[in-house]
């Protein structure tokens, strides 16, 4: 049957049997949908994710461009760049044979410990919605479908599959659903992914209020709704609510037997089945799948234009938070002949968070590499690690020989104690097995890794062990290490963070050989038995030589810093510390305070200490008062080191502004005490008792002194002044706001005009102010520009639960022009007639 862009969907639909239609309601495998070639139904290939198109393999696949994390993109406050990122992500997806990208992520930052915050844009729904909408536009104008996720309120990873979130309708509408509403109305995404969690007792995938009443009803959206991977929780209920596609495949709940039974029992109608399939076909039409049904092989294309875009976005997203005595920029002239200590994570490229955002980058530029490249021989760079930052000991890789004499390990699979002959593999890279990308099925089977190890040094070296299920380690056939229970957090194991592992020492002698065997069983307790990960075994054996493990890294770093003219300490989270699957272990930087001790000691030894921090969240800063400068680099993508060097050297004037508030204490965070909720009788419940008072809306009410840096904050190597503000009414519902911005500093640079609106007469039921609009402006030194911003009533309306409508009450309103949520430059007070019923 021929494939055309104008495929007759109705004709194809009528040709399908009920069983064939049902088969289309769930995926074929982990990434693709079911195809029925004989009836003209092509497959669709999807790919992660929000900051790069990984392709089908979690590890070992084709390389891909790694773009800055969404929080870094949000820090640019530049919608035009987000559109360009969407264009580039589409081009990347096509190199992976995929025409549906699983992103962007539009959930809000509710709490600083949210494990997946980095993957989302902001604590503010207007900033999030504006930038995410541009990513969607950029993707879809290149023919690749965006899949906006996770609808809705996926703000924590703890018990994410089952947690019940109690959220008022007002908070849902004004904070958590608003970015999605903006995206739907401004960019019309072709697909939306539901979240794992329950909202007010009902899972998102089966929630008629979210999917039927609001998304398809009030918002009149016509696209495809798919589940998060393993996030389908019912058969009839999800079909009726509006979930079109269960992912991944093969079908876990939507089997042909289960859906046929639901039809026979009149729980689901044939018309409803047709509706769900039609939505899938409409997506196929939009992405050109009928015309081009084949999914081409994956390719690695390292596009120079993408490299430059990543570097530009990262450069605009990096935020200068402190700059005492103008120690920055460190121009070549300023540091010529100087010694500069690069400490901490200077040789680590912290380019992305863990989980769906992980990928194999085309390359990754560390700060060390970037700074050496930027400065050449101008400065004398010296390096010291300074702190252990690992979460687990690295897996044993080197000096291992498999059973046929090759480098590595021998891997085997056992079914009820009998080895599966075809499963034996040699040259397995390390003492670690993660079943996310197995070549053979391992579900409900046991695995074994074995090798002969020849230690490079004599000593009582360190070992650690973790497994998804019960796991044992034998050395020379003696049991030396055993985990008897299932992993308490299997999801974390899959996404590379893993459990906190107990360490032990074992005496090794150089010149002797040691037979090491790891035996790991599938989990016995079947935590989350309906999960797509249930029954999968996995294990890892960590190893570190005693000399490296016990080395006093701090003393060496302090000595290096003391000898140098400047000290730059690189801190942050690796992707195993900040990852999907787990919320943050602590508000302090890992590991066990090692990074905080490093910064404090270095700052005591060198008065010219600068900190460059790479996290997707705010962290504790107990040493902030001791350092001269601080730069927040986020997870800036594969060009990280280049972008950081651009800002430190002054070739890029920092223009990033915080998309989040940065509290001094975790106890002052708005959701403190209600994150990640409480667990009773096996069910975790989290109450969003802070309501609409999220982020700066909360800190405005308590005290600006509770934050190190407010929402919207960022320094520059120049300075800007705003004056001559005015606000006039353009129509019954729209206002025109103007202000003159002048660059009064010595350099070309950029600032963000942030317009907040709030009631002049303060009310405990409403935020003091909310971000209504913003505009980034680039200006030469000495230049002035009149910036005009259009604002409508809907931009500062509130949702009235009693009437079920959006409203703006009659009264006086302050239009505040600001460079951050605290630094208000000018206020215009205007009488607003208001409106009792508004449609966004």
Per-residue pLDDT tens digits for 659-687:
999 999 999 999 999 999 999 888 999 99
Residue 197 lies in a domain: no
Long-range interactions of 471-476: CB distance < 8 A, separation 24+: 471/518, 471/519, 471/520, 471/521, 471/539, 472/518, 472/519, 472/520, 473/516, 473/517, 473/518, 473/541, 474/515, 474/516, 474/517, 474/518, 474/519, 475/506, 475/514, 475/515, 475/516, 476/514, 476/515
Whole-number Å distance between alpha carbons of 706 and 683: 33
The two structure tokens encoding residue 210: 């979210």
Cα 464 to chain centroid, rounded: 28
Quick check: is 371 in a domain? yes
Cβ contact 610:628 at 8 Å: yes
Boundary residue ending a domain (522, 537, 552): 537
Residue 199 has pLDDT above 60, yes or no: yes
CB 341 within 8 A of CB 564: yes
First to last CA, the chain: 44
Residue 443 pLDDT grade (very low, low, confident, very high; cuts 50, 70, 90): confident
At 5, the pLDDT band (50, 70, 90 cuts) reads very low
Q: What's the average model confidence in pLDDT over 510-536? A: 83
- Nearest of 480, 488, 403 to residue 448 by alpha carbon: 403
Query: Residue 828: which domain range?
Result: 718-838
**Mean pLDDT score of the chain, rounded to an integer?**
94
Rg (CA), the chain: 27
- For residue 387, name the pLDDT band (cuts at 50, 70, 90): very high
Residues 415 and 359 in one domain: no
Cα separation of 75 and 109, whole Å? 13
Q: Is residue 419, in this structure, part of any structural domain at all?
A: yes
d(CA 55, CA 38): 27
Task: Assess contact for 717 and 328: CB atoms under 8 A.
Answer: yes
Angle at which helices 304-317 and 79-95 cross, to 10°? 140
Place of tokens 């007010």: 200
Predicted local distance difference test score (pLDDT) of residue 527: 52
E strands present in 292-371: 319-323, 339-344
Residue 586 counted as domain residue: yes
Helix (H, G, I), strand (E, B) or coil at 86: helix
Instruction: Report the CATH number at residue 482.
Output: 2.60.120.380
pLDDT band at 440 (very low <50, low <70, confident <90, very high): low
8 Å CB contact between 614 and 573: yes
| C-beta separation of 689 from 674 below 8 A | yes
Q: Are residues 459 and 576 in the same domain?
A: no
State pLDDT tens for residues 486-509.
Answer: 887 777 777 766 667 889 999 999
Residues 315 and 165: their CA atoms lie apart, in Å, by: 37
User: Is residue 121 within 8 Å of 131, Cβ to Cβ?
Assistant: yes
How do 749-759 and 400-401 pair as beta strands? Answer: unpaired
> What token pair was written down for 678?
């409480």
Q: Please give the full DSSP string across 548-567, using - where no structure is assigned.
A: HHH--HHHHHHHHHHHSSEE
Taking the C-alpha atoms of residue 643 and residue 213, their distance in angstroms, rounded to an integer, is 45
Same domain, residue pair 585 and 694: yes
Which one-letter DSSP state was computed for residue 735? E
Beta-carbon neighbour count of residue 508 at 10 Å?
21
Return all residues near 794 (Cβ < 8 A) that are at least 6 apart.
733, 806, 838, 839, 840
| Number of compact structural domains in the chain | 3
Query: What are the residue ranges of helices labelled H in 676-752?
Result: 696-702
Which CATH number goes with the domain that contains 333? 3.40.50.1700
Same domain flag for 574 and 490: no
Residues in CB range of 509: below 8 A, 6 or more apart: 455, 458
Model confidence pLDDT, tens digit, residues 460-474:
999 999 999 999 999
Which tokens in the block code for residue 20? 């064939």
Q: Are residues 641 and 733 in the same domain?
A: no
Would the pLDDT of 528 be above 90?
A: no
Residue 315, token pair as written in the block: 């450069």
Cα four-point dihedral sign 219, 47, 489, 345: negative
3-state secondary structure of 520: strand
Asked if the structure places residue 417 within a domain, the reply is yes
What global pTM score does this model have?
A: 0.95
Burial 185-210 (b: 16+ CB within 10 A, else e): eebebbbbbbbbbbbeebbbbbbeeb
Structure-block tokens of residue 671: 């959701």
- Residue identified by tokens 């019960």 is 470
Which tokens go with 286?
A: 């939009």
Percent of the chain with pLDDT over 90: 88
User: What is the C-alpha separation between 157 and 296, in angstroms, rounded?
Assistant: 34
E strand or H helix at 131: helix 125-140
Q: What is the 3-state secondary structure (H, E, C) of 416-482?
A: CCEECHHHCEEEECCCEECCCCCCCCCCCCEEEEEEEECCCCCEEEEEEEEECCCEEEEECCEEEEE
Of 701, 729, 751, the one marking the end of a domain is 701
Strands (E), 607-692: 609-614, 629-632, 662-663, 678-680, 683-687
- pLDDT band with cut points at 50, 70 and 90 for residue 108: very high
- Average pLDDT (302-316) is 98
484: enclosing H helix or E strand = none
Q: Residue 772: inside a domain, yes or no?
A: yes
- 757 and 783 together in one domain: yes
The span from the CA of 818 to the CA of 840, in Å, is 25
- The owner of tokens 């962290």 is 619
- Euclidean distance between CA atoms 430 and 407, whole angstroms: 10
Give the residue from 391, 684, 356 showing the smallest Cα distance to 528: 684
**Of 25-34, 390-399, 433-442, which range is least confident?**
433-442
Same domain, 607 and 532: no
d(C-alpha 568, C-alpha 792), whole Å: 46
Confidence tier at 512 by pLDDT (50, 70, 90): very high
CA distance 190 to 245: 13
At 4 the pLDDT is: 44
Residue 228 is among the residues annotated as catalytic for this protein = yes
pLDDT at 2: 41
SS3 at position 824: strand
574: helix, strand or coil? coil
What is the β-pairing status of strands 749-759 and 770-779? antiparallel
Output 681 or 790, whichever has higher pLDDT.
790
Q: Mean pLDDT over residues 479-485, rounded?
A: 94
pLDDT score, position 3 = 42
Q: Work out the angle between the directed axes of helices 256-264 and 270-286 (0-180°, nearest 10).
A: 130
Q: Please identify which residue in the block is written with the tokens 């890892």.
A: 540
Question: Would you say residue 819 lies in a domain?
Answer: yes
Same domain, 793 and 726: yes
Q: Per this entry, what is the length of the chain?
A: 840
CA distance 423 to 414: 9
Q: Of the listed 159, 205, 228, 499, which one is catalytic?
A: 228
| Distance between CA atoms of residues 602 and 610, nearest Å | 10
Q: Are 106 and 179 in contact (CB under 8 A)?
A: yes
Q: Is the pLDDT of residue 21 over 50?
A: yes
Dist. CA 448–CA 473, nearest whole Å: 10
Tokens read off for 820: 């951050």
Q: Using the predicted structure, report yes or no on whether residue 357 has a pLDDT greater than 80.
A: yes
Lowest mean pLDDT among 75-79, 147-151, 415-419, 434-438: 434-438
Asked if the structure places residue 59 within a domain, the reply is: no
Same domain? For 516 and 578 the reply is no
* pLDDT of 764 higher than 60: yes
Please give the pLDDT value at position 499: 67
* CATH code for the domain in which residue 777 is found: 2.60.40.10
Give the residue from 487, 527, 468 showing the smallest Cα distance to 162.
527
Domain shared by 653 and 755, yes or no: no
- Residue 235 · residue 213 · CB < 8 Å: no
Percent helix, strand, coil in the chain, to 5, is: 25, 30, 45
Which one, of 297, 303, 364, lies nearest residue 66 by Cα? 364
What is the mean predicted confidence (pLDDT) over 639-653? 98
Could you tell me if 409 and 525 lie in one domain? yes
Average pLDDT for residues 807-836, to the nearest whole number? 95
Local confidence band at 731 (pLDDT 50, 70, 90 cut-offs): confident
Residue keyed to tokens 């309601």? 25
Task: Specify whether 755 is located in the same domain as 809.
Answer: yes
Asked whether 341 and 570 are in contact (CB, 8 A), the reply is no
Model confidence pLDDT, tens digit, residues 413-434: 999 889 998 888 998 889 998 8
């Amino acid at each position: 049957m021929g494939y055309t862009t104008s495929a007759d969907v109705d004709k194809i639909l009528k040709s399908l049997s009920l069983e064939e239609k049902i088969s289309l309601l769930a995926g074929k495998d982990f990434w693709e949908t079911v195809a029925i070639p004989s009836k003209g139904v092509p497959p669709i290939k999807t790919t992660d994710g929000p900051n790069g198109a990984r392709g089908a393999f979690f590890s070992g696949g084709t390389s891909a461009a790694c773009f800055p994390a969404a929080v870094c993109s949000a820090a640019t406050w530049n919608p035009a760049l987000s559109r360009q990122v969407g264009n580039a992500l589409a081009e990347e997806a096509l190199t992976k044979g995929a025409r549906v990208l699983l992103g962007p992520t539009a959930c809000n930052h509710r709490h600083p410990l949210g494990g997946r915050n980095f993957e989302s844009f902001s604590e503010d729904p207007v900033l999030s919605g504006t930038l995410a909408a541009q990513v969607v536009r950029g993707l879809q104008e290149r023919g690749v479908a965006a899949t906006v996720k996770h609808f809705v309120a996926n703000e924590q990873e703890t018990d994410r599959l089952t947690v019940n979130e109690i959220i008022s309708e007002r908070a849902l509408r004004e904070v958590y659903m608003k970015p999605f509403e903006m995206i739907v109305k401004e960019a019309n995404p072709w697909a939306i992914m539901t979240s794992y969690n329950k909202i007010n007792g009902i899972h998102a995938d089966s929630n008629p209020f979210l999917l039927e009443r609001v998304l398809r009803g009030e918002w009149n959206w016509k696209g495809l709704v798919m589940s998060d991977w393993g996030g389908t929780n019912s058969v009839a209920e999800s079909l009726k609510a509006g979930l079109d596609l269960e992912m991944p495949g093969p079908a876990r709940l939507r089997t042909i037997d289960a859906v046929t039974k639901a039809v026979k029992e009149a729980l689901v109608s044939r018309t409803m089945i047709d509706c769900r399939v039609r939505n899938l076909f409409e997506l196929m039409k939009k992405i050109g799948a009928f015309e081009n049904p084949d999914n081409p092989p994956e390719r690695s294309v390292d596009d120079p234009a993408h490299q430059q875009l990543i570097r530009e976005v990262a450069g605009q997203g990096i935020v200068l938070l402190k700059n005492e005595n103008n120690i920055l920029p460190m121009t070549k002239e300023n540091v010529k002949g100087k010694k500069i200590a690069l400490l901490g994570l200077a040789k680590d490229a912290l380019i992305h968070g863990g989980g769906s955002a992980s990928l194999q980058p085309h390359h990754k530029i560390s700060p060390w590499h970037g700074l050496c490249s930027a400065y050449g021989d101008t400065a004398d760079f010296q390096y010291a690690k300074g702190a252990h930052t690992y979460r687990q000991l690295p897996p044993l890789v080197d000096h291992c020989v498999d059973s046929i004499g090759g480098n590595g390990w021998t891997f085997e699979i056992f079914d009820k104690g009998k080895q599966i002959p075809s499963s034996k593999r040699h040259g397995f890279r390390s003492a670690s097995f993660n079943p996310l990308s197995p070549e053979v099925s391992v579900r409900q089977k046991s695995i074994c890794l074995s090798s002969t190890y020849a230690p490079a040094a004599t000593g009582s070296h360190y070992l650690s062990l973790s497994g998804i299920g019960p796991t044992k380690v034998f050395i020379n056939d003696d049991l030396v290490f055993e985990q008897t229970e299932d992993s308490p957090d299997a999801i974390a194991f899959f996404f590379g963070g893993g459990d906190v592992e107990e360490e032990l020492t074992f005496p090794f002698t150089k010149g002797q050989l040691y037979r090491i065997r790891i035996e790991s069983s599938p989990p016995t307790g079947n935590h989350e038995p309906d999960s797509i990960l249930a029954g999968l075994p996995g294990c890892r054996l960590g190893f570190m030589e005693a000399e490296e493990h016990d080395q006093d890294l701090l003393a060496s770093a302090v000595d290096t810093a003391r000898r140098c003219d400047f000290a730059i300490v690189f801190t942050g989270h690796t992707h195993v510390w900040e990852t999907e699957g787990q919320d943050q272990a602590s508000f302090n930087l890992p590991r066990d305070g090692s990074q905080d001790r490093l910064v404090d000691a270095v700052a005591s030894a060198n008065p010219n200490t600068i900190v460059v921090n790479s996290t997707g969240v705010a962290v504790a800063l107990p040493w902030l008062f001791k350092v001269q400068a601080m730069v927040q680099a986020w997870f800036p993508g594969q060009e990280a080191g280049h972008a950081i060097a651009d800002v430190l050297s002054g070739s890029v004037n920092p223009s990033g502004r915080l998309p989040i508030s940065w509290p001094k204490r975790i106890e002052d965070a708005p959701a403190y005490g209600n994150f990640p909720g409480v667990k009773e009788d096996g069910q975790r419940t989290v109450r969003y008792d802070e309501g609409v008072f999220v982020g700066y809306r909360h800190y405005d009410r308590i005290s600006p002194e509770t934050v190190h840096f407010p929402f919207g904050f960022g320094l520059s190597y120049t300075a800007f002044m705003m004056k001559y503000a005015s606000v006039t009414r353009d129509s019954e519902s729209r206002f025109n706001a103007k202000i003159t911005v002048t660059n009064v500093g010595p350099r070309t640079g950029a600032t963000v005009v942030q317009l907040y609106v709030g009631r002049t007469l303060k009310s405990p039921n409403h935020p003091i102010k909310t971000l209504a609009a913003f505009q980034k402006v680039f200006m030469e030194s000495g230049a002035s520009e009149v910036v005009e911003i259009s604002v409508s009533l809907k931009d500062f309306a509130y949702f009235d639960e009693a009437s079920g409508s959006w409203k703006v009450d009659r009264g006086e309103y302050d239009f505040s022009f600001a460079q951050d949520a605290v630094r208000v430059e000018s206020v215009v007070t205007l009488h607003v007639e208001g409106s009792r019923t508004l449609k966004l």
